[in-house]
Amino acid sequence: MSFHSGFVCILGRPNSGKSTLLNALVGEKLAIISPKPQTTRNRILGIINVEQQKGRPGGQVVLIDTPGVHKPDSSLGRKMMAEVREALEGCNLVLYITDVTRKFDARDQFVLNMARKTRTPVFLLLNKIDLLRKKDELLPIIEQYRQLHDFKEVIPLSALKRQGLDVLLEKMLKSLPEGPRYFPEDQVTDQPARFMVAEIIREQVLRQTGEEVPYAATVVIEQFEEGPKLTRIAAAIYCEREGQKAILIGKGGAMLKKIGTAARLQIEKMLGTRVFLELFVKVRPGWRESPQFIEEMDWRRQLEHLAGSRIE
Ligand code: GDP
Ligand code: MG
């Protein structure tokens, strides 16, 4: 009985549907989604366990969602691109995902080059086929991509409408090597709950505020006390300017209340307890240019430091 497993990196430009695909494949909301580019800032693991069936090996697929590939113009952007490179390191398979409604250009070529450099097999995922008026519009697109690289598989799909996902999962398993179960069967991600809570709050900031605030906002959990029935959470939303703070708070606190209520409902669903959520807005000018602050925000580094101090 064979067991296939490995690490599969989802790579693509901002907004191509990487995080939607991760959530759809895992069947749980692990990554936040928004129509705004650069929603995802960290690499996010999603673990899929598949039982063996007739003609299909069982296995474990460890998916890695990544920030969209772009030319960074800040320390934050550079950190996001470092996350992409770390995700690509040592992975067994790359899912190169594109939005079929967008024309291939130099930025797509840049992403494709990154995928090729890994020297691992690359699947081409043509996402958002639900937006095509006629299915035969796909044929010339597929032909065009085939000229660019010898993709191991070409799979049209819709992450949003969950079309083509079974085919994708089957082909991933077949393509992965025989290997061990890397994570326990009941684990779906490596993200700590408090980081997921911070992300849920940030998603509401992205959704409820306009153009300028989302990119300048980040969320830090300052208190996280889990009880059997009630979880107490205090979080700070950092922005860069007083004007952004005013928008985040809103008239008489209305905006902050809206963000808080929407986030709380989702956090309660995730944790399975009632949640008492307190939000603050803080201004930290130019935090996106502060490597030190960005480092502090990285939960993987925080865990390393914790582990390090325990060993000493
Ligand atoms: P990412 O930046 O690559 O992670 O993209 P997201 O997963 O955050 O999705 C960006 C936007 O595209 C969101 O508004 C999604 O709802 C939308 N989207 C993702 N997949 C599909 C799809 O298959 N069809 C359609 N119509 N929209 C999609
Ligand atoms: Mg994303």
Say how far apart CA 137 and CA 238 lie, in whole Å.
44
pLDDT of residue 1: 62
87 alpha carbon – ligand 2 mean position (Å)? 14
- The mean pLDDT of 258-264, rounded to a whole number, is 98
35 alpha carbon – ligand 1 mean position (Å)? 7
Q: Kindly give the number of the ligand 1 atom that is closest to the alpha carbon of 37.
A: 2
pLDDT for 187 beyond 70: yes
Q: Which of 9, 13, 20, 165 to mutate to test the pocket of ligand 1 (most atoms within 8 A of CB)?
A: 20
Domain with CATH 3.40.50.300 in the chain: 3-175
Q: What is the pLDDT of residues 136-147, one digit of tens each?
A: 899 999 999 999
In the chain the first and final C-alpha atoms are separated, in Å, by 43
pLDDT for 281 beyond 50: yes
Q: What is the pLDDT of residues 196-241, one digit of tens each?
A: 999 999 999 999 998 778 889 999 999 999 999 999 999 999 999 9
52 alpha carbon – ligand 2 mean position (Å)? 30
pLDDT for 62 beyond 90: yes
Beta strands in 161-250 (DSSP E): 218-226, 230-239
Question: Whose atoms come closest to the Cα of 98: which ligand?
Answer: 1
pLDDT for 30 beyond 80: yes
pLDDT of residue 308: 67
Report strand pairing: 3-11 vs 58-65.
parallel
Angle between helices 165-175 and 18-26 (to 10 degrees): 80
**pLDDT level of residue 135 (50, 70, 90 thresholds):** confident
**pLDDT level of residue 304 (50, 70, 90 thresholds):** confident
Q: What is the CB < 6 Å shell around ligand 1?
A: 12, 14-20, 33-35, 39-40, 68, 127-128, 130-131, 158-160
pLDDT of residue 59: 95
Strand partners, 248: none
pLDDT of residue 312: 42
Q: Which of 35, 16, 13, 19 is nearest to 108 (CA)?
A: 13
247 alpha carbon – ligand 1 mean position (Å)? 26
Task: Dig out the tokens for 148 from the structure.
Answer: 């660019």
pLDDT of residue 269: 95
Q: Which of 155, 159, 169 is nearest to 49 (CA)?
A: 169
Residue owning the nearest CA to atom 10 of ligand 1: 15
21 alpha carbon – ligand 1 mean position (Å)? 8
pLDDT of residue 293: 93
Report strand pairing: 58-65 vs 44-50.
antiparallel
**pLDDT level of residue 301 (50, 70, 90 thresholds):** confident
Residue owning the nearest CA to atom 28 of ligand 1: 160
Q: What is the pLDDT of residues 89-123, one digit of tens each?
A: 989 999 999 999 999 999 999 999 999 999 999 99
Question: Whose atoms come closest to the Cα of 164: which ligand?
Answer: 1
Q: What is the mean pLDDT of the chain?
A: 94
pTM of the model: 0.94
16 alpha carbon – ligand 1 mean position (Å)? 6
**Percent residues over pLDDT 90 in the chain:** 86
Architecture of domain 3-175: 3-Layer(aba) Sandwich (3.40)
**pLDDT level of residue 309 (50, 70, 90 thresholds):** low
Domain with CATH 3.30.300.20 in the chain: 193-311
Query: Residue 183 in contact with residue 39, Cβ under 8 Å?
Result: no
pLDDT for 53 beyond 90: no
**pLDDT level of residue 81 (50, 70, 90 thresholds):** very high
Cβ neighbours of 301 (radius 10 Å): 12
**CATH H-level, domain 193-311: superfamily:** K homology (KH) domain (3.30.300.20)
Question: Whose atoms come closest to the Cα of 128: which ligand?
Answer: 1
